Structure 1
Amino acid sequence: MEHKMFCFQCEQTAGCSGCTGNAGVCGKSSATAALQDELTGALIGLAKACGNNPRTEDTTHILIEGLFTTITNVNFNDETLREMIAKVHAEKERVVPNCATCASPCGNTSDYDMKEIWEADEDIRSLKSLILFGIRGMAAYAYHAAVLGYEDETVNAFFYKALSFLGFDLEMGDLLPVVLEVGEVNLKCMELLDRANTETFGNPKPTKVPLTVEKGPFIIITGHDLYDLKLLLEQTKDKGINVYTHGEMLPAHAYPLLKQYPHLKGNFGTAWQNQQKEFDGVPAPILYTTNCLMPVKESYRDRVFTTEVVSYPQMVHIGADKDFTPVIEKALELGGYKEDTEFTGINGGKEVMTGFAHGTVLSVADQVVDAVKSGAIRHFFLVGGCDGARPGRNYYTEFVKQTPKDSVILTLACGKYRFNDLDLGEISGLPRLMDMGQCNDAYSAIKVAVALAEAFGCSVNELPLSMVLSWYEQKAVCILLTLLHLGIQNIKLGPTLPAFISPNVLAYLVEHYHIAPITTPEADLKEILGA
């Protein structure tokens, strides 16, 4: 029987309600969606099997890899999804031998049927979706940290707990604490990844990144995995090949260890959703290291390479050996541009800044506090999050343009590409626009907010700080839950509210946290500033 697709985990889901046809807005087919549901059901079964049975490091890695695989824009390949499902089943057989052939099956460790969630009461479905999508996002952070050798037992254990809760018949009162616990544990997970990145690559430093591509062979690397970038830089040394970041890889330019490679030249293009246009006919290979892969167009399919959990049918995949020779050979074959080629950001800027992580901002905390006390800085805006193609995201560009000159804009993740090439000037020697990094670096924004609250002797909610966020996929969900765990209120969220939030759950969030949808830049600024 043909699977009826149901998916509403991303912001661009059809009709703001759910993708139910033959293909999702993201481009995945109904068959792929069915396999992702099957994989999730298998992961729930594995987690429950470990409730009374010992798990190993391999078990945890399989859970995290499986969750990461189901994030939007990671895997479009039915073959590799089936391989992942088989890996989960093999691990469950190791944990509970002969379970599948038991004469008296208890059913507790069976693969879970995801229709039990999708067809549940809308409030139960909403809360379980928040848990599931939150731990999918958190799994991405845990995966990147583990690549660098950093793990946390509290974080790892929670994946088992959360997955098991999804498979139980529970009431709203049982699920709501777990939703908030996702945010609590994700804070620990983001801190872990921050430590992994900074201890491995150094503390980010403010860095100007050119958007011009120099003549000659080059490689574009996109995604979030800094270690993959380091390996690529090592393998391309002295080969006459330049390397350019794309999308969420932009913050790599700020890390001291990566800045040491002279052939890490600049940034190519803008946010992930523009790749089909920007990669069209580009004379260079593109290496995808994590999510943000869009369906590949014919005009550049011969130059796309994937690695880690990213997978797309018929693309060359670089396996665990991390031998990037095929990418290097393709770069030399294509040859790059014959002359230096000048590109610009969305607003015409020729360079962008990055590297204002918590280490940099807190190093001038006294200067910031003095500027606030003197009245030089009236307000801080955190404007960031995911970018996407749905109409309405130009709101964030207009919002930033209209912020008063005595305000500072902190930004992060790919939503910044809407405005990160604007020159907004300075306040008291500080740039008005500070890019704190990618979505993986959201911990920086939280740490700065908490530190400023301590400096002023107040709560974060009493700071002259407003959060105006955009979301697209599941990492944004776990970050939002972390903000709620910290008790942060009055968040403005857009361009639409999540389709998986039921009216009752939304009412709870509005009542307790005063979350509100964005309206217009003018109206929102007037409300925030009281002007």
Structure 2
Amino acid sequence: MFCYQCEQTANGKGCTKMGVCGKTADVAALQDLMIYAVRGLSEVAVEARKAGVVDPEVNRFTVNALFSTLTNVDFDPARFQVLIGRCVELREQLRNKAKLGTFDGAAAFQPAKDPNGLVDQGTKVGLMSDTFSADENIRSLQHTTLYGIKGVAAYADHAQILGQEDDRVYAYIHEALTAMGNKSLGLNDWVGLTLKCGEINIRTMELLDAGNTGTYGHPVPTAVPLGAKKGKAILVSGHDLKDLEELLKQTEGKDIYVYTHGEMLPTHGYPGLKKYKHFYGHYGTAWQNQAKEFAAFPGPIVMTTNCIQKPRESYQNSIYTMGPVGWPGVVHLKDRDFSPVIKKALEMPGFTEDKEGGSVMVGFGRNAVLGVAPAVIDAVKAGKIRHFFLVGGCDGAKASRNYYTEFVEKVPKDCVVLTLACGKFKFFDKELGNIGGIPRLLDVGQCNDAYSAVKIAMALADAFKIGVNDLPLSMILSWYEQKAAAILLSLLYLGIKDIRLGPSLPAFITPAVLDVLVKNFNIMPITTPDQDLKAILG
């Protein structure tokens, strides 16, 4: 195997025996084969579009299949066997529907009949195979684009669940995946395709924002309890709002409290979700702490999306997966039927007493922040707010990520910190106070809410009649997986410069490609909080 799609890849170079995430070599091969099969499906989809044939099922399957290959999503080889087979079925149905001729390469791929055969096929089409460019810099951009596309696919999958789709998103994914087999494309072609991924991701996040806010209302500032209520309990982790809504509906009136974990924390700010009185509070922190936190939770756990880790034996029988998530031996819920979870919750002890744990504020999406924009602008003009820091992105297990905790703690009291995604758990419960009634720590939401942060920045730039790069705003980002790659490409597409990225730079970026990013965008690695604050503020 060879995989280097996440920040914690072995030795900063690549996992070759087993994934740091827990992915086995066999699952890695099946994921590589899944990508290869989707590339073949994409070739046919591109030609079908030219013939005026667009298949919604193919579009939705494409993003769901890609989502399954993200870090910490699907570890179940049996599920990949089914997905790969379905991919080829859809490809042939579309080819016949569009009356297309024969294809070769990925578009003619036929899966082996048994699991071992599929694994063997997967070992021949991995990241370093001849199915990608032999030129290391072109291959670097191909892989960067592939990982960006995986992030786009995750967001597109969330959006279509809520009825928000745009064929331009699907068309780009199919075109870019098809391009990976085009040996005539050069470095400049791939620079364009890579930045195009950032553009398409902005549109995709806009669709997801419309789905979330159109269905559940704009988030409002909300205090979320970190303690517990006496009674039966269910814990929900992941990102998907529709899954959470269905669970809340099915548990209503059953004397069960629903708690969030990880990136589900910001869901407490949505009016359409917070109306459920048994939707109580937040339990635990970020994804990498789940083994300890899930083991201590006195009820069942539902994983709606990434990021799942290998369940401990103590809670293997009380954790459930759904959607693109899978783990061998773990019950996978179908059709959002939560009856097995509810049954388990009623059997388990729940919390035996109330527990106080303080609270944190969420709900500072673009609507809430821009609602107080005049006060923010006045505070900046009056010198009360000197600078804004967007400190966000992914959390992870590396000790070097404590940089982000220390950075926020050392941000001067006349500065405001905006945050989003699970990187916030390095400092989400810090008491930073406020400036003239404006909280100094503003939780914009999930990584899925990055569109809100972009809109806030653009609106402030418009209000001050300056470019985004001229705002008193610095971006201090942490990355871990492929949705972060998509967001970074979006920021680069928008021309945003001086981004500080950590805790380490992507292994899939070659020195030559990094040099281009530095020269064009002045992207840079984090150093120390003191040095970076001094460089930014002077």
Q: State the TM-score, normalizing by the size of structure 2.
A: 0.94
Q: Which residue of 1 aligns with 2:476?
A: 468
- Residues 281 and 299, structure 1, Cα contact 8 Å, conserved in 2: no
SS of match in other structure, 1:24:
coil
- In structure 1, the residue corresponding to 2:295 is in which secondary structure? coil
Q: 1:493 aligns with which of 490, 498, 501?
A: 501
Q: How far apart are 1:96 and its partner, in Å?
A: 2.3
| Deviations 1:26-50 (CA, angstroms, capped at 9, x unpaired) | 0000000000000000000000012
Shift of 1:89: 0.7
The amino acid across from 2:69 in the alignment is T
| Corresponding residue for residue 141 of structure 2 | 127
User: In structure 1, what residue type is equivalent to 2:57?
Assistant: D
Q: CA deviation at 1:295?
A: 1.0
Contact between 1:489 and 1:514, CA under 8 Å: does it hold in 2? Answer: yes
**Structural mapping, 1:129-528, within 5 Å:** 129-169=143-183, 170-320=185-335, 322-343=336-357, 350-528=358-536
Q: Partners in 1 of 2:63 and 2:438 — Cα distance?
A: 40
Over the matched positions of the two proteins, sequence identity in percent amounts to 53
Q: Is the 8 A contact 2:132 2:180 kept in 1?
A: no
Between 1:453-462 and 1:332-341, the stretch displaced more is 332-341
Instruction: Write the deviation string for residues 82-102 of structure 1: whole angstroms up to 9, x where unpaired.
Output: 111011011011122499xx9
* 1:120-178 CA-partner distances (Å, limit 9, x unpaired): 32212210011100010011111111001111121121111111112221221111100
Distance 2:133 2:392 in 1: 33
Q: Matched residues in 1 for 2:141 and 2:108: separation?
A: 22
How far, CA to CA, are the matches of 1:465 and 1:34 in structure 2? 42
User: Distance in 2 between the 1:240 and 1:153 partners?
Assistant: 43
| 1:346 match | none
Q: Are 1:46 and 2:41 an aligned pair?
A: yes
Q: 1:243 touches 1:264 (CA, 8 Å); kept in 2?
A: yes
Whether 2:154 is the aligned partner of 1:113: answer no
* 2:132–2:142 CA contact under 8 A, matched in 1: no
Native 8 Å contact 1:117 1:128 kept in 2:
no
> What CA RMSD, in Å, does the superposition of the two structures yield over aligned residues?
1.5
Matched to 1:512, the amino acid is: N
The aligned amino acid for 1:150 is Q
AA aligned to 1:157 is A
Q: Which whole-Å CA distance do the structure 2 matches of 1:365 and 1:213 have between them?
A: 35
TM-aligned CA deviation for residue 342 of structure 1: 4.3
1:11 to 7, 11, 24: 7
Q: 2:32 aligns with which of 30, 37, 40?
A: 37
Task: For 1:117 and 1:359, locate their aligned partners in 2 and report how far apart those are by CA, in whole Å.
Answer: 45
| Contact persistence 1:117–1:125 (CA under 8 A) | no
Whether the 8 Å contact between 2:263 and 2:286 is mirrored in structure 1 is yes
Deviates further, 396-405 or 165-174: 165-174
Conservation of the 8 A alpha-carbon contact between 2:396 and 2:480: yes
- Quote the Cα distance in structure 2 between the aligned partners of 1:183 and 1:264: 35
How many angstroms apart in 2 are the aligned matches of 1:458 and 1:119?
41
Deviations 1:451-488 (A, max 9, x none): 00001110000000000000000000000000000000
Aligned residues between the structures: 515
SS of the aligned residue for 2:355 comes to coil
Please say if residues 49 and 108 of structure 1, whose CA atoms lie closer than 8 Å, have aligned partners that are also in contact: no
Cα distance in 1 for residues equivalent to 2:361 and 2:26: 42
SS at match of 1:476: helix
CA shift, 1:110, in A, is 2.9
Find the residue that maps to 2:400 and give its secondary structure: coil
- Segments of 4+ moved more than 6 angstroms: none
Residues 390, 418 of structure 2: 8 Å contact kept: yes
Instruction: Give the Å deviation of 1:116.
Output: 2.4
Moved more, 412-421 or 273-282: 273-282
